[in-house]
Every structure is written in structure tokens, then in C-alpha cells.
Amino acid sequence: MIINNKNKPSIFLLPLMLLGMLYNCTPKAVSTEERFTTTETENTATIAAEKEEFFEEEPTLYKNLTYNPKIKTVLLYKKGSVLSDPVIRLNSEETLELRFDELDRDIDTYQYKIIHCNADWTQSGLTDMDYINGFDENYIDNNKYSFNSYQSYVHYWVEFPNENIQLTKSGNYIIVVYPEGEEQYPVLTQKFYVTENSMQILPKVKYPAKLDDKYYRQEVDFTLSYDKLQVINPYSNIKVHIEQNHRTDNSCTELTPNFVKEDQLIYNYEEDNVFDGGNEFRFIDISTLKNYTQRVLSIDDRNGSYKVKLKPDIKRTYKKYLETGDANGRLFIKNIDGFDHNLESDYAYTTFTIPYSRPLNKGDLYIYGQLSNWEIDNAYRLKYDYDALAYKAEIYLKQGVYNYTYLYVSDTAKSADISLIEGTHFDTENEYIFKVYYKDPGEFYDRILLYYTANSRDNF
């Protein structure tokens, strides 16, 4: 027998081999980093992936927004009334008109899409075919160049509903405008409403029940009358939203009726429907850039553009109430030196100033009104000027007449405070917007049974 001695292990290696076998059979201490085996890691990843499947992104909350800084002066109103709210009656001949400027010398091709929303401004569960009769995407065909102005712009407008699109459901709506074929890149969004107006309301603005609030706040009670054959279980299926001067930050949205009669819902609260009275809106008139109007301090046009400085505003916190006429925050485009307000009105860098001895370290001041799209927007936030000891904001405005107010937004509060700068009075004339939503148990969207605007002066 021939033995291959080269493959025969050395006698000296045998003890080492035995020690190695014993080491591999002995349980080892596992470090934190080594605690999971490959299989366990794979299982963990699978569990994490399964958890992600259950995670749902928060739905988009639609607002009045301008996404492109070149888009200015976005206006949406009922045709024939530029100071009206963007609301039309279902199945009527009423139409809305959307207008906006683009600060450019070239004409772009824009499309628009209309989205049905729930009462909370999230997209409803309806498909386009459920609420649209016609095309779901349409073009804005109307546009013209500006003239007789330093600032060149293209003015766009569209009227809807029209022969291409009709709306078949009531409710909250958003119109989205975007460049042709680029729906994912909107340039603006605007809210509007379609109402059935199938209910009646009797509002009452009165002194609050709390004695301390009597001269500073306004209590808003109301009674709704409805057709009991068309409304099922009104106590749970009807939601009422109340806004003061289009503000959504302090709106009432959780009210339920105190009493339900055979065909009436009575809302009579002592706290939940109470608003700060605030103060009358301030105003500026820049309908001419050739002469100084009441609030204009200076006009500079030396560098091919207009710069307007307004007279400093006065803090009205502790001043007595002074009755002045206003448009409750609205604006009106106007150029008294031209003929076509939409095309000849120029733009001006307009500086707002309100003296303040020191900066507010727990919040910010904002200019609010239709000029800010009825939103508390960072583009309208004032910045503190240490040299001037004042808050200032420069806003690029088209010629016209503007209402505005100052709101203080604390870093921790859920709603803005009007009293810090403007003061608050029961006597202030305010608009209260009532929106009555109804969701039938068999339907998947919020209908608007009533959209109604009440003036506090008319309902004392």
C-alpha cells in the first residue's frame, strides 16, 4: 500500500485542530452590532415595508395660492360685480370671471382644471365625470398685452362655466391654472363655491353674553329654515361654517344646533360663536401715480418703475372707535389716468410702515385682505427696521384702491390676533359669511345648501 505522506496531518497540528473544533462548538457572546442575523434583518425590513403600506400621506389642503412670482393680481368674482365673492347658484346662468397678470413680454398658453373639494378643502371622492359636464381640462384663450405702463405684463382672463365645462354638483371648488400640459406645475389656485341656496337663514349679531366682552366682541347667533323632506337627520348631517371677513384662521366650523324644531335649526351659543370685533379696514388709493392721494407720502419714478411710500400707519390698540366706510378688505383695480383699468394700470413698489418701539420676539405682523388673497401669507409679512424703529413691507401692487388690516400671528397661537395693532370694538362693521354644508348618508361629498353674507350693521 502506497501512502501519500504529503496529505497526512502533522502530529503537532492535531492539538490545534481539536482546540479549533471546541471553539466553534462553544456558544459565543454576541455584540450589539451582530445581534441580528441576516434572516432577522430581512424580516425586519419586510415588517417595515408592510408598515409603510399602512402609512397615508396627509391629503392636500387647497388654498388661494400663487406659485409663480411673475403671476400678480389674481381676481375671481361673479361676472358683472368685481367686488363680489366667487359664488354662483347651481343650474343657473351665473358665471365667474378669473383674471390675472403675468409680468412678462411673451404670451404663454395656459390651461385650467376644476377640482371638487370637501368642506375642509381636501379633494372630495368624486371623479371628474361626477361633477363636470364637458371637458375636464380647458384653455384660457383670452389674453392681451399691457400698454402705457412701465411694467410690461400680459393680462389673462376666462369666464366659466362655459360651453366647454358645466358643473353639476354644489360644493367647494378649486380652479387650478397651469402651463399647457404641465398640470404638475400650477401657477395659481383659487377657491370658489357653487350653492343650491335651498335654505333660509335669520342671522343676529349682538352683544356677547360675557360682560367683559360686551364692548369688544360680537356674538353671531342664527336660525336656519330647511325643507324636512330634503334634509335627513339635520343635526348630524349639516355642518355650518362662519367666517368673519373671509378669515379662515378664526372661523367657526364645529357648531351644532342648540335646538331642532320641525323645520328649523337654532344656533344660540355664548362662546363658540363669538368673534373679536376688530376695527374698520385701512385703505390706500394708488389709482393715480401722477398726484399724491390721501395716504401717499411720496412717489418716485426715476428708474423706470414706480416706488410709492405710504404715510406711516397708526397703532389703534387703545384708540376710540372711529366709524369709517370700507369695503371689508376688498380691492378694486383702477387707473383714473387711463381708460382700460386692466391693461393700462401700472405696478408700483408700495411700502407700508407701522412704527413700533421694539420688535416682537414671539410672533410676526402680517398685512391681510384681498390683496393677500385672503390668506396669512409670508409674502405679506412685515420685517422690523431697527434704524426706523418700525415694521415695514414692500409689496408690488397694481394701481387701484385697497383695503387692508394688520394681524399679529403668535408663534404658539392657533389663530391671528387683530387687537394687538388694530384694537377691537363691538361697533365695528364686519361681514359674516355663512356656509351650510350637507352630506346625505348615501352621498360621498359635501353639498352647499346655502352661501350667505350678513353685515353686522344690518343684523344688530
pLDDT value at position 57?
A: 59
pLDDT at 271: 85
Distance CA 123, CA 275 (A): 29
Q: Look at residue 261 in the predicted model and tell me its pLDDT.
A: 86
Cβ atoms of 101 and 70 within 8 Å: the answer is no
CA distance 378 to 376: 7
Return the pLDDT at 4: 39
C-alpha cell at 92: 343657473
Over the chain (460 residues), the average pLDDT of each successive run of 10 is 39 39 39 34 42 56 95 98 97 98 94 97 95 97 96 98 97 98 96 97 95 94 91 90 96 89 90 94 97 96 95 96 93 96 98 97 96 96 98 98 98 93 97 95 90 90
Beta partners for residue 283, in sequence order: 403
Q: Name the DSSP class of 293.
A: -
pLDDT at 56: 54
List the grid coordinates of 278.
Answer: 376688530
Segment (H or E) for 384: strand 383-385
144 three-class SS: strand
User: Which residues make Cβ contacts (< 8 Å) with residue 97, sequence separation at least 6?
Assistant: 75, 76, 77, 78, 79, 157, 158, 159
**Model confidence, pTM:** 0.85
Rg of the chain over CA atoms, in angstroms? 32
Strand runs labelled E in 169-216: 171-179, 188-195, 200-206
Would the CA dihedral through 277, 279, 284, 287 be positive or negative?
Answer: positive
pLDDT for 236 equals 87
Residues in CB range of 121: below 8 A, 6 or more apart: 61, 62, 63, 172, 174, 191
Say how far apart CA 270 and CA 203 lie, in whole Å: 15
Cβ pair 196, 89 in contact under 8 A: yes
Query: Among residues 73, 75, 67, which one has the least CA distance to residue 149?
Result: 73
Note the pLDDT of residue 270.
Answer: 85
For the record, the C-alpha cell of 334 comes out as: 383702477
Phi, psi of 46 (to 5 degrees): -65, -45
**Phi and psi dihedrals of 281, rounded to 5?**
-65, 145
What pLDDT does residue 442 have? 80
d(CA 207, CA 214): 5
User: What local confidence, expressed as pLDDT, does residue 60 receive?
Assistant: 81
User: In whole angstroms, what is the distance from residue 454 CA to residue 346 CA?
Assistant: 34
What is the distance between the alpha carbons of residues 116 and 239, in angstroms, rounded to a whole number? 17
Burial class (CB in 10 A: 0-12, 13-18, 19+), 233: exposed
What are the pLDDT digits (tens) for 373-384?
Answer: 999 999 999 999
Strand partners, 331: 402
C-alpha span between 136 and 322 (Å, rounded): 49
User: How many CB atoms within 10 Å of residue 129?
Assistant: 9
Question: How many angstroms separate the CA atoms of 369 and 63, rounded?
Answer: 14
- Tell me which H or E stretch contains 25: helix 14-25
Question: Which residue from 127, 122, 74, 130 is spatially nearest to 97, judged by alpha carbons?
Answer: 74
Give the SS3 label for residue 237: helix
In this structure, the number of other CB atoms found within 10 A of the CB of residue 335 comes to 22
**Mean confidence (pLDDT) of the chain:** 88
Q: Nearest 5°: phi and psi at 42?
A: -65, -40
Q: Which domains does the chain have, with CATH numbers?
A: 65-195 (2.60.40), 200-277+429-459 (2.60.40.10), 282-422 (no CATH)
